[in-house]
Every structure is written in C-alpha cells, then in structure tokens.
Structure 1
Amino acid sequence: MSVLVVGASAAGLTTVEALRRKGCRDSITVLGAEWHPPYDRPPLSKQFLYGDWDEDRTRLRPEAMLSPLEAEFVLGDPAVALDGRTVETASGRRLTADTLVIATGLTPRRLPGPDLEGVHVLRTLDDAAALRTSLDALGTVGRVVVVGDGVLGAEVAATARKLGLAVTLAGPQASLLQAQLGPAVGALLGELHAAEGVDLRLGTAVAGLTDADGRVSGVRLADGEVLPADVVVVALGAVPATDWLESSGLTIDNGIVCDEYCRAADGIYAAGDVARWQYGESLVRLENRTNATEQALCVAANILGEQQPYRPVPYFWTDQYSTRIQVHGTPSGDLVVAEGNLDGRFVAHYREGGRIVGVLGWNAPKQTRVHRQHLLHT
C-alpha cells in the first residue's frame, strides 16, 4: 500500500511519523510546495520574526530524524491538479499512490490592488524572512501598520513593538480577537497592546493602500483616514489551499469536506487546516497547530484500518509580549471567571445553555489544564 502525502508541514510530517510508528513499511512520498524541509509555523510571527530563532531552529525535525522515516521528500514542487489518486505537479511530475493524504494548509488573503514594495503577508518561512529583513531595515524609526485584528495580526504587532518600531494595528472588529474570544477578553488584549505602545485603530475596515513610486506609503481606512506606513503587514486570515483540486471531483466547501474519519473519498484523506470534517451534526475546520498534529494521528490510524472518528477537544494558544493565552474547547457564549481575576492571571469558562463549552487561561497554564477537565465531563 503506497502512500502519497501532499503537504510537508506539521500535518503531513506527523502522518508519516505515525504510519511508521504503527508499523507501516510501505512506500511513502511527501510532496511539498516549498523547498524547505518541514518546519513549525507558530514561531514565525514571534521567535523567528524577532530574531531569537534562526531557520534551523524552526525545523520540526533534524535530518537525523527524517532519514529513518525512509520517506521520499519531493520539495519545491507544488501540486497543481488531482485525477483520481494521481497528483500532477508544477514541474510536470505525476505521482500516484494507493492512499492519498492532502495536507496543503492555507493561502493568506491579500488586499486587492497592485503588488507594492513594503507590503507583506506571513504564512511561510520565506514570508517571515522577507518581513524580518524589512523590519530590520527600518531600525527603530520606521512605521509599521498591521492590517488585521486576529491572532496573527496581534502577534506581529507585539513582535514589531518589541523591536522598538512604531506600530499601528487596524481592523474592523470593536476589539482584538473579538470573533475568536469575545469582547471581554478582546478588551483586555486591547489594553495590553495599548500599554505597550500600539496605536489601535479598531472598528473601521481597511479600504486600500497608498503608494509612492511603487512602494507602500500608507493604509487608507474606510472613513478616509490614511495611516502612514513604511511597512504594511496584511493579516486578514487565510483560505484553504484547494484551488488545485477544482477538477478533482472532491467536495470543496471552505476546505476539503470529509466524513468523521477524515476521509474525503475512497483512499483519500485530509488533515490540518485544509480539512473540514463531520463532527456530530456539523462540519468543522480548525486552523491551529494542535489540530494539525492530532488530526494527522487520526488519519494515520484510519489509513491502517483502525476506523477512529476524529473528535478532538479544540486547543490553541497565542503568545503576545509576556502574556500567554490558552483556549480549550469552543470560546462562545457567556464568559465567567472561574479562578483569579481579570486584573492578573485568571481562568475563565465559556458557558452555553448551562454547559461549559470552553476554557480560557490568561498566564495560568497549570490551572488551565485542570479546568480543561470540565470539558470532558459536561
């Protein structure tokens, strides 16, 4: 039984490692769009962008751990089409296997208009390296505007402030991460960033960019105000990387639609950010590092016939300045502080219909793990 994994990041690599641990000795090929060996994405907006980590430290595994997997890594050659279980690549390769795992992740959204010097997105290692070069070139006098009020935008703003740059963050929500965490936690994050010197321009959408001779000069808000900028980081979310699957016959709807076993079709599975799978009554897609790993473990088990439905307790975290926020479950409904207080470390519960559906910890990792148990018993 040959296996082809399309995507050489966390979900793809974890699938390969899990198959080998479970005794699979069949042929495995990993196809990656980037030239880099598998690397970790969460540090890109923090440790790598700040300069604490170099490229080697972002790698998920050293070469000494990849070689024993006896998998063929085909890197720097994006998939462009799928016919049955045959993948065509940009270079013209045609790779076929008995089982296909799709783990192609996400493609960042961009603002409409021409490509301007000084405008960045942040998804890949190359994106992060280019942004770091631009920020370094500013010294401590440059003006950075982050477009986006979600997790990535807030993390990039925090890193840029730590570098000593003037930072403005613009976004349509009334508070940071409001859609993900609700208004109360969003307000706390806003206070944190404001205290660190970030100029928050929230509640107004971005209409476009201004430029001078092909280089970005500012961000134009919907109300007409222009925010001066030497560097702009667009962090408006991302979409599943499924364009190459348009003629594949798979069901594509905000990701690759799968059953509860992460199976998109006979012999075809999906894992990570690109997968949207049946979870109870709903289709769910999660964009976080933890899910990429856990879903890949489930896919590997199901490839080998274990028939495990994928039913995770969602989890993600974000580090901003010296604050770590950890979230288990679904952060929706009413927010109730369960331990500590909002002026310092705390753990809060999200409640819906009398049930605890989510747990959030603010600089309280040990206590948050304890409170997570409420999700398993309600």
Structure 2
Amino acid sequence: MRDRLRVLDWRICLPATALCVVGVLLVWSSTRAMPPEGSHTHLWRQIAYSGAGLALMTILAGADRWSLRAWGPPAYLTGCLGLAAVLSPLGVTVNGSRSWLNLGVLQFQPSELAKPALVLALAALLGAAPDGERRRRASGLPAALAVAGVPLGLVMLQPDLGTALILAATTLSMIVIAGTPGRSIGLLAGGALGAAALAWWLDLLKPHQVQRLLVFADPAADPQGAGYNAIQALETIGSGGLLGRGLFHGDQTGGRFVPEQHTDFIYTVAGEELGFAGAAVVLVLLWSILWRGLRIAAQAATPYDRLVAGGIVCWLATQATINIGMVLGLAPIIGVPLPLVSYGGSSVVSCLAAAGILMSVRGEHRAAPRTHVIWS
C-alpha cells in the first residue's frame, strides 16, 4: 500500500479528491427534492462512482509507459465498439441524443471512454517521431486524422455535439503539440471550418441543435422554450451573491428551476448555495490540476509522454470551459458535464482515469534521466 501511495502526485490527487467531495455534496443538494424523496439514490451512486474512479486513478498512477502504450489500442478499439453499439438496439436515447449503452445491470456512456482512449491512440501515432523530425510528423497527420475520425464520426451520428467538439479540440491540440508544420495545421483548420459551414448549409444538424445555437445569441427570444435553460442558469448562479445561501438552502435549486441541475448545470448549484467564493474555489481546484498537467507535459522525457499529458489537459480544459460557459451564457447549451463534479459514473471515472494517467507520466519523467529525451 505504501508503494502505491508513493507514486501518487498529491498536487493532482488532492484537488481531484476535493472536487469529487464537492461533486457529491452538490449532487446531494440538487437531487434531494427529486422523487422518490428521501431515497438518496443519486447520492449513493455518486459516492460509488467517485470511489471506483479514485481506485482506478490509483492503479493507473503506478502504470509505466509500456503499460500505457499496451492499453492504448485495446482501449481505443473498445471505445469505438461501444460507440457503434450505442447506435444498435442496446442504445438509449436521452435528451435527443442516443449516447447511452444499456447492458441491463449497467448503463454507461461509451463516449466518455473514447476520450482517454483517443488521447492514448493519438499519442502513440504522433509521438512516434523523435523531436525535430517535422517531415515525419507531417506524414503521420493523415493516420492521426483517420484514427480521430472514427470516434468523432460515431459521436456525430448519436448526435452529441458537445462530445464531438471536445474530441475535435483534443485532436487539434495534440496535432499542434506534436510539432506539425503550421501550413498543415492551417489547411486542417480551413477544412474544419469548411466542413462546419457545409453541415450548416446542408441542414445536417438536428433541429434542436440548430435551435440551441440560434438561441445562444438571444436567449430572451424564446424564454419559455429553448432559451429557458440559459435564463434560469444565469438567475440561479447570480442569486448566491458572494458567500451563497448555504448548502441545501438554495431556493432555485430546491425548486428545480434549472433542468439537469445535477448533471450539465451543476455549477449553478455551486453558484447559488456556495456563492461566488465557493464557485471560485471549484475553478481553482480545476485549474490546479490543469496547471500541474501542463508542468508534467513541459517536463516530459519523451514526445509520447508530452502528448499524453498535453492531450489530457486540453480535453479537461475544453470540457470545463464549455460547461462553465454554458452556465454563464458564454457558450451554447450543448450538454457537457463539469469534470469530476457533475453527476454520472461514466464522466467521473473517465476524468479520474485521466488524472491517474497524468500521474503515471509524471512518474516516468522522474524515473528517467533527461538524456532519454530522444526516446521514441
């Protein structure tokens, strides 16, 4: 047990655990009035999810580079198969998106598994060339895009625009971190913008997705319809003032004025009940993990390690930014959970697994001499 604890990076472990505790409390508060009242079903599930995720984080923290490389292909294949299975009769539709897989005793979201799996797969591809060999990095770009395109395409078929944006942002960031020439990145960005414009022009987006994007510009245009969530979220998070109304004492939260307040809009509960100060603490805890991840990426001994750490940081940062942006009216409402805080086993376990992988990479660069920087 001591050896296992010794590999933990407490600058990641402590804020991650603290966010899980905050998440459990906020989920408890936001679901206490949900029927059947007094069952505390969501509370006990969130505790179980967090415990399982922390255990997985501890296991992954002790993994070496070779283990991560070995787990990458099976994880990627499993993630893609799960995304494909979602489109079969096993898939469950929630809020207009067929994103869940129902296995009877277990219901989970394969797209959450696809996030760390994609990071490991792209790191193996883009990190194969030693530092400085830009030509080989550019030549590996088509393969990387093909690897990213499979889960991205399957996610768009669900359709889950939020997860698709996270996967796309993570892929682009890892391509940049890999040292791909600027011309190739420019062509890729131009192609992505062209594809987005074409999708809009051909009406490939679902009606509810188009409505969310349009209402983002003016939520008051449809206050009882598509703009309701955005308006209620702003009112709820702003009602807490500096120190909040107190845990379990939020009027807006208790009245369930904000839909999905225990999942996508959990940050409104923090704003109302813990106030600006409590909501800021959540941001500080998230930022401390991201900052530590950036330091690990900067000190990585190999291109592979740097890409793994950098990809995880970009994934978590993008997801947190979109979620908080939705609550503050700075981003369209596209259904993205707040890392480690929102209710849901798939998201919590996936994010804690990412924290464990970060600690594994940190252990590798501490164990390896800096002369190994050319390793590929």
Tell me if both proteins adopt one fold, taking TM over 0.5 as the criterion: no
TM-score by length of 2: 0.28
Higher helix share: 2
Structure having the higher strand fraction is 1
- TM, length-normalised to structure 1: 0.28
Q: Larger RCO: Structure 1 or Structure 2 (Cα < 8 Å, ≥ 6 residues apart)?
A: 2
